Amino acid sequence: MMAISDRVMLNAWRERISAGAYRHEGGAHPDLACADCHVPARMNTVDEQTLKVPVTSCGGAEGCHATATLDEGGALNYEIDQKKKNPNFVCNKCHLTFGKQGVPASHVSAIPKPK
């Protein structure tokens, strides 16, 4: 469980519109702490932009979700590749609703350059 008792934050999380596929209650990465993806010091419940988790937080510079090539197994790489092959593909590894839209520049720029 997330172990969050702040009513304001809990109410805000009930209405996630973009991401939400990640299971916070232990899911695929039970060893991650909240601050591994979220930056509580910059979060402001009245500024929606500060509540968003950047695409680079999922894997980061050394992570597994955005890799230099698809062959290295990056989930972001896979989703972008599928979207290129089929514009009707719905990215659903991380998204609930925005996965139907085109791939944003922030996602493309999160892919590390091959060494």
Residue type, 70: L
Query: With contact defined as beta carbons under 8 Å apart, do 20 and 12 qualify?
Result: no
pLDDT average, residue stretch 83-91: 93
Tell me the two tokens of residue 11.
């109410």
Return d(Cα 61, Cα 67) in angstroms, integer.
Answer: 9
pTM above 0.85, yes or no: no
pLDDT digits (tens, 9 = 90+) for 66-77: 888 888 888 888
Q: 76: how many CB neighbours lie within 10 A of its CB?
A: 25
Q: How far apart are CA 58 and CA 65, in angstroms?
A: 6
Report pLDDT for 37. 75
